[in-house]
Structure 1
Amino acid sequence: LTENEAGELSTQAHERRNGSGGSGQTAFSLVMPPPAPRCPTPVRRQSHFKGRSEGRIWRPTTRKDVQAILKAAEIYNEAGLRQKGERSGPLGSVALDVLRLFVNLIDYRTGRLEPAISTIMDRLGRSRDTIVRALKNLRTHGFIDWLRRYEPTGNEGRGPQVQQASNAYRLSLPEKARQFLGRFGKATPLPDDLAAEQEARAADLAAYRKSLPLDELALFEAGDNSLGRALAALGNAVKKRESDKQTESLSHLYLKGGT
């Protein structure tokens, strides 16, 4: 408003207030503009713009380092289960599955690790609430940390301009779990029954690998990254070639039998 317009509004409000003989609240509201409608933004607090803040949480790492974190978490969970008589240990089986998935997804060169909750749900076949609880458990015990992020929606005009993006995660080895690893990151000797359990788990994992088609095996081994997707595409090509060969062989046998 200009000074003249503001003066006119003030004069009108004063005249109406005097003419009403009341408190003036009703008359004053007639000349005040309505409050601007609030436009909620679907972004959680302490979220950072995607692509600008990951340097504070991602660090280059190695396969040996992340495997040491996983090994320490497994032993830490087993030790807590034995001490307190818990059914699932301080971390829980789902949290360990999430950690194993992260070990396969992380980019060693940059430390990049940013799977969406929906991706974790699909890969592990678990509900959203179960995955969220597992992530919180891992964070509480110091095995992971994350950075909330948001990104533009690309909407033009009305509507939210930003939306929540996937978290940026970091794997870490808490001091209370480091004690379960020997020198140079090697695990301390395990009790016989725990060693047998881990051998059985390794056998199950090997059987699971054998059951996967080539494209899914590539993603499982290399992770959902550029290398994994390239290997998956190669696996699909191999599968198609083998399928074409089988179809061609069957057609040849059919024609030969018909003659």
Structure 2
Amino acid sequence: MSGASIGELIGWQVAALQSGQRIGNRTPRRDSYDENDRRAQIFRPIAGGNTAEALRWRDKLLQVAREYNVLHKEKGKREGPLGNNALWVLEVLLGFVDFGSGRCDPAIDTICAKAKLARATVVAAIERLKEHGFIDKVRRTRKTGRARSEGPQREQISNAYAFAVNLKDKVRQRFAQLVGGRKRAAEIQAKKKAEAEARAAALNAPTGRLGSMLLPNDPALAGALDRLGAHFEGDSASSVTREYPDQDLKGEKE
């Protein structure tokens, strides 16, 4: 490496130190991806972007996180595996989500200011949330457009966050149960309504077809009921056509 190229690489560092800047803040982390790299594209719309449903989705995720924290608290420990700080940081993070795109990328300092917690506390909380599957996190970088002598060609930018993508099986099932509760209730209600309408239609139908309508999966029994219904229909028809005299007519003949 030539002296000129070395000078290009360290010149900006010398200038930064002389101006009192911290070089570490400008050096990208190794486990980072460019913001346009597909591995950094973790944002997904929340509840299809529907605000009311997305707010419900957010509330249920917080509910599941609190339940998880209580259920997995080890005996003798003051807090569960997430802890109150992580639960609060999760709520704060969810407050930054754009429901339409799923975008959530506040800077750590922004999260700290909103949560009113120290930086180390927030960083630790985010790691716990990621460890237990409640969030995913990707460190990202961006091209600076600087010349080599002016500084690094990349800089660290805020992390990208996604939610509920790595939940443990039982936690995912519980979350799905809570989120899908309203939809499932509507489906059950619609099914009950359809069944009631079918029963009403069957009762209003000719009795000669009652068995076929009520027991479509049991042809033998349905046929027997149809024949029985047809028999009663015949009796009713005979009465209407006066094959069997009415009671008052019988009395007149006597």
| TM-score scaled by length of structure 2 | 0.53
Q: 1:174 to 1:111 in 2, by over 3 A?
A: farther
- Give matches, 1:1-259, under 5 Å: 36-37=5-6, 42-53=27-38, 56-62=41-47, 63=54, 64-81=56-73, 83-156=74-147, 157-172=149-164, 173-178=167-172, 180-181=174-175, 183-185=177-179
Q: Which amino acid aligns with 2:169?
A: E
Q: Is the 8 A contact 2:107 2:159 kept in 1?
A: yes
Q: Give distance in 2, aligned partners of 1:122 and 1:165.
A: 17
Q: Give distance in 1, aligned partners of 2:35 and 2:175.
A: 35
Q: Which amino acid aligns with 1:119?
A: T
Q: Is the 8 A contact 1:68 1:186 kept in 2?
A: no
* Match of residue 186 from structure 2: none
Task: Return the offset for 1:34.
Answer: 5.8
Q: SS of the counterpart of 2:72?
A: helix
Report the RMSD for the aligned CA atoms in angstroms.
Answer: 2.8
Deviation string 1:223-245 (CA, Å, 9 cap, x unpaired) is xxxxxxxxxxxxxxxxxxxxxxx
Deviation string 1:162-203 (CA, Å, 9 cap, x unpaired) is 21000110011432423545835379xxxxxxxxxxxxxxxx
Q: Which amino acid aligns with 1:185?
A: V
Q: Is the 8 A contact 2:40 2:138 kept in 1?
A: no
**What is the identity percentage for the equivalent residue pairs of Structure 1 and Structure 2?**
36
Q: Give distance in 1, aligned partners of 2:40 and 2:153.
A: 24
* Match of residue 193 from structure 2: none
Task: Return the offset for 1:154.
Answer: 4.7
Q: 1:122 to 1:154 in 2, by over 3 A?
A: farther
Task: Return the offset for 1:153.
Answer: 3.3
Unaligned runs of 5+ in 1: 1-31, 188-259
Q: Is the 8 A contact 1:70 1:103 kept in 2?
A: no
Unaligned runs of 5+ in 2: 14-25, 48-53, 182-254
Deviation string 1:99-118 (CA, Å, 9 cap, x unpaired) is 10122111111110001000
Q: Which amino acid aligns with 1:178?
A: R
Q: Give distance in 2, aligned partners of 1:86 and 1:52.
A: 41
Q: SS of the counterpart of 1:178?
A: helix
Pick the structure with greater CA Rg: 2
* Match of residue 248 from structure 1: none
Q: Which amino acid aligns with 2:131?
A: T
Deviation string 1:198-233 (CA, Å, 9 cap, x unpaired) is xxxxxxxxxxxxxxxxxxxxxxxxxxxxxxxxxxxx
Q: Give distance in 1, aligned partners of 2:2 and 2:125.
A: 49
Q: Give distance in 2, aligned partners of 1:79 and 1:141.
A: 13
Q: Give distance in 2, aligned partners of 1:96 and 1:43.
A: 29
Q: Is the 8 A contact 2:45 2:99 kept in 1?
A: yes
Q: 1:72 to 1:34 in 2, by over 3 A?
A: same
Q: SS of the counterpart of 1:113?
A: coil
Q: Is the 8 A contact 2:40 2:160 kept in 1?
A: no
Paired residues in the alignment total: 155
